Amino acid sequence: MNKIFALAGVVIKELYRRKDFYVLFVLTAVLTFAASAVNFFQDEKIIRYVKDICLLLIWISSLVIAIVTTARQIPAEREARTIFPLLAKPVSRAQVIAGKFLGCWLAAGIALVVFYFFFAVIASSREHTWPVVMYFQAAWMQWCLLAVVIALVLLGSIYFAAPSSTSTISFIVVAGIMLVGGHLNTIALSQPEPMQSVLAGVYYFIPHLEWYYLSDFVVYNMGCVSWVKILAATLYAAAWTGIFLTLAWLGFRRKNLTT
């Protein structure tokens, strides 16, 4: 376990020593502030609108950070050849995968805490309420989703050597699931037969990332989601993360690293 934490530590260290991470951080902070400054009138509709945009911004930024960081990890190790002195030590390839995953996930978690803190301060200063539990649920769900995404990107980065292609494909997959994944079953009903079964099959077969976007709750202050649902969603995310990490390990386990 210490080996996995040591590997994760290197991932996090790299992130805060690279400038691009800060750029995104500062950009989101500035935009969030700007968006809130637009709102001179205490109009409820406008406040909702601003909150909606800010949440979307947080979502996109954290996805960018998670995907871009993760896609780079293993290819960079191979490019710089640091994977060789590393694997020459008593560490298994499974531990390398686990360490990379943990590092990226913790880094994403740190980013989320900062983002949601900004958001909570701004939203609450307008609305004069502090629905802390609700914010926690929203952030937690997003962190669960990022676990699935990071595991998926790690899997992709083993098969596609170029981090840019891994990132692009991951973005398309994640955005696709978020936008249409939840509607596939309804779309299926309006289709002729072979297509209907295929779409319905796909619906049951993909990780439903769209469940993790709690923006409506936050925007309309709808109160908390039941903890049972949160727990179920957490377990569902854990299962998908496990599946993707296992597939990543299977691909990496026998990979000839010199080609």
Partner 1 sequence: MTTILQTEKLRVEYRSRDFRQTTKVALVGLDLEVRAGEVFGFLGPNGAGKTTTMNVLLGFVPPTSGTGRLFGIDVRQPIARQRIGYLPEQTYYYKFLTAEELLRFYAKIFGLAYAEMDKRITNLLKLVELEHAAKRPIKSYSKGMQQRVGLAQALINNPDLLVLDEPTSGLDPLGRMKVREIIQRLKNEGKTVFFSSHELGEVETICDRVAIIHQGELKAVGSVAEISAGHENLEKAFLKIVGFQPSPLLP
Ligand X SMILES: Nc1ncnc2c1ncn2[C@@H]1O[C@H](COP(=O)(O)OP(=O)(O)OP(=O)(O)O)[C@@H](O)[C@H]1O
Contacting residues toward ligand X, per CB under 6 A: 258-259
Which residue in 9, 60, 202, 215 binds partner 1 (CB under 8 A)?
9
**229 binding partner 1? (CB under 8 A):** no
- Closest distance of CB 93 from ligand X, Å: 18
Region of 221 on the Ramachandran plot (φ > 0 left; ψ -120 to 50 alpha; else beta): left
**What are the helix (H) ranges across the chain?**
2-17, 19-38, 44-79, 83-87, 93-127, 132-159, 163-180, 184-189, 193-205, 215-219, 227-253
- Give, as ranges, the residues between 13 and 32 that touch partner 1 (CB under 8 A): 13-14, 17-18
**3 binding partner 1? (CB under 8 A):** yes
In the complex with ligand X, the residue whose CB is nearer, 226 or 258, is 258
- Give, as ranges, the residues between 70 and 89 that touch partner 1 (CB under 8 A): 80-82, 84-89
- Give, as ranges, the residues between 189 and 228 that touch partner 1 (CB under 8 A): none
- Give, as ranges, the residues between 236 and 255 that touch partner 1 (CB under 8 A): 254
Encoded tokens for 130: 């502090």
**92 binding partner 1? (CB under 8 A):** yes
Side-chain half-sphere CA neighbours of 195 within 13 A: 8
In the complex with partner 1, the residue whose CB is nearer, 90 or 194, is 90
At residue 24, the 3 state secondary structure works out as: helix
Closest CA to 225 of 236, 240, 213: 213
Residue 94 DSSP label = H
- Closest distance of CB 74 from ligand X, Å: 17
CB-based burial, 175-185: b 16+ in 10 Å, e otherwise: eebbeebeebe
**110 binding partner 1? (CB under 8 A):** no
- Judge whether 224 and 214 are in contact, CB under 8 Å: no
Which residue in 60, 64, 91, 224 binds partner 1 (CB under 8 A)?
91
In the complex with partner 1, the residue whose CB is nearer, 4 or 237, is 4
In the complex with partner 1, the residue whose CB is nearer, 13 or 183, is 13
133's CB contacts (< 8 A; 6+ apart) are 224
Residues that bind partner 1 (CB under 8 A): 2-3, 5-7, 9-10, 13-14, 17-18, 80-82, 84-92, 254, 256-259
